[in-house]
């Protein structure tokens, strides 16, 4: 029930970000709804209708080509996003939330619709692109991050990337970036405004960082590989001072062929800093490799997900 609540919440937030922040500024931060925003501005198509007309066929094609890897929660998300989007379209419209305006212009023209008329900004409406982009990126990131936390996806252009990945073997991350960037560039073709794809890409960047925070949390983990001849000293510090565990790996040095012992340990950033600053004292000749760990599952960290 909690997972489905997260899907509903994420879908509602996505609709808010799209209708109230992204669409009024003619942005297209990738995805099916990025294209839907362009179609809405050019031809007046409802975002919800254009979105669902692209999402559902993509979901069906993806299932046929990739197999049944899209779960029920993804289907629910694909249905709920256009529903919430439609409700906002008929209640809120396409008016922006963040803007400034020329008071003198509107005092002189009290009956003017001061947002958007026939796809053009009126001179009385002063858009704040940067602030709107930041807020939209945060809302989008929270929305999609919440959907991911529920074990679902929002479908859309990700399915296109997955299909291309199956036949080209290009990395999925690269394909997602390419597909979303192409969609963002449609704003330049449609509106001849270089700011729009730039702000759309900034939005994608902010969104990706917020997704990471929502999915992985605020904690930052580091994995350390420590090759040391002072095994007991380093081992004791990790177990007793940091109160963490680790794994001892035994290998062979490549140059002389001597047996070497390496400690494999994953720590929060603060503990990593403590261990690194004490290694000079524990073993001045230690060799250390520190890598970022985006997600740690198992005892002492986040529980393994249920099937």
Beta carbons of 166 and 66 less than 8 angstroms apart: yes
- Residues 162 and 39 both lie in one domain: yes
Residues 140 and 240 in one domain: no
Final residue of a domain: which of 216, 244, 268?
Answer: 216
Question: Which residues in the chain show pLDDT less than 50?
Answer: 113-122
Query: Is the distance from CB of 214 to CB of 146 less than 8 angstroms?
Result: yes
Domain match, 260 and 173 both: no
Q: What is the pLDDT of residue 295?
A: 74
Of the residues 154, 186, 216, the one at which a domain ends? 216
pLDDT at 212: 79
In a domain, 306, yes or no: no
Using CA atoms, how far apart are residues 144 and 69, in angstroms rounded to an integer?
Answer: 18
Domain co-membership, 88 together with 157:
yes
Give residue 93's Cα distance to chain centre: 26
Q: Which pTM value belongs to this model?
A: 0.75
Question: How many domains is the chain partitioned into structurally?
Answer: 2
For the CA atoms of 278, 283, 284, 290, the dihedral, rounded to the nearest 10 degrees, stands at -60
Backbone angles phi, psi at 93, to 5 degrees: 85, -150
User: Residue 302 domain-assigned?
Assistant: no
d(CA 68, CA 61): 11
d(CA 128, CA 34): 19
Based on the domain organization, do 57 and 166 belong to the same domain?
A: yes
Q: Cα(284)–Cα(229) distance, rounded to whole angstroms?
A: 10
Q: 125-126 and 116-117 as β-strands: parallel, antiparallel, unpaired?
A: unpaired
Checking phi first, is residue 242 left (phi over 0); if not, alpha (psi -120 to 50) or beta? Answer: alpha
Together in a domain, 126 and 82: yes
Question: Is residue 78 assigned to a domain?
Answer: yes
**The domain containing residue 190 runs over which residues?**
2-216
Same-domain status, 71 and 151: yes
Nearest in space to 31 (alpha carbons), one of 71, 76, 69, 82: 82
Task: Check whether residue 82 and residue 196 sit in a common domain.
Answer: yes
Domain boundary among 216, 243, 259: 216
301 part of a folded domain: no
Looking at the structure, tell me whether residues 227 and 212 fall in a common domain.
no
- Quick one: 50 and 95 in the same domain? yes
Using one digit for the tens of pLDDT, what is the confidence trace for 144-167?
889 888 878 887 787 888 788 788
Do 135 and 260 lie in a common domain? no
Q: What is the pLDDT of residue 119?
A: 44
- Contact, 26 vs 41, CB < 8 A? yes
Q: What is the pLDDT of residue 118?
A: 43
Between CA 146 and CA 142 the distance in angstroms is 6
Is the domain of 228 the same as that of 211?
no
Main-chain phi, psi angles of 267, to 5 degrees = -135, 160
């Amino acid at each position: 029930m909690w997972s489905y609540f997260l899907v509903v919440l994420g879908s509602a937030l996505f609709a808010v970000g799209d209708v109230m922040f992204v669409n009024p500024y003619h942005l297209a931060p990738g995805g099916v709804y990025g294209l839907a925003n362009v179609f809405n501005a050019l031809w007046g198509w409802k975002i919800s209708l254009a979105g669902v007309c692209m999402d559902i066929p993509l979901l069906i094609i993806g299932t046929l080509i990739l197999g049944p890897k899209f779960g029920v929660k993804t289907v629910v998300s694909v249905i709920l996003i256009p529903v919430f989007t439609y409700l906002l379209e008929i209640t809120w419209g396409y008016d922006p939330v963040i803007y400034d305006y020329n008071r003198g212009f509107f005092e002189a023209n009290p009956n003017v619709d001061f947002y958007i008329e026939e796809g053009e900004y009126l001179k009385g409406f002063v858009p704040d692109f940067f602030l709107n982009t930041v807020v939209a990126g945060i809302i989008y990131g929270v929305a999609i991050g919440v959907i991911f936390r529920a074990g679902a996806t929002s479908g859309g252009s990700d399915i296109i990337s997955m299909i291309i990945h199956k036949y080209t073997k290009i990395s999925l991350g690269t394909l997602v970036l390419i597909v979303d960037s192409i969609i963002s560039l449609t704003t330049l073709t449609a509106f001849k405004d270089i700011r729009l794809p730039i702000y759309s890409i900034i939005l994608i960047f902010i969104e990706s960082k917020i997704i990471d925070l929502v999915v992985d949390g605020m904690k930052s983990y580091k994995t350390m590989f420590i090759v040391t001849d002072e095994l007991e000293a380093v081992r004791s510090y990790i177990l007793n001072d940091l109160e963490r565990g680790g794994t001892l790996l035994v290998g062979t040095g490549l140059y002389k062929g001597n047996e070497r012992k390496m400690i494999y340990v994953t720590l929060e950033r603060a503990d990593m800093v403590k261990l690194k600053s004490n290694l000079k004292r524990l073993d001045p000749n230690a060799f250390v490799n520190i890598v970022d760990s985006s997600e740690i599952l198992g005892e002492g960290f986040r529980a393994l997900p249920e099937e």
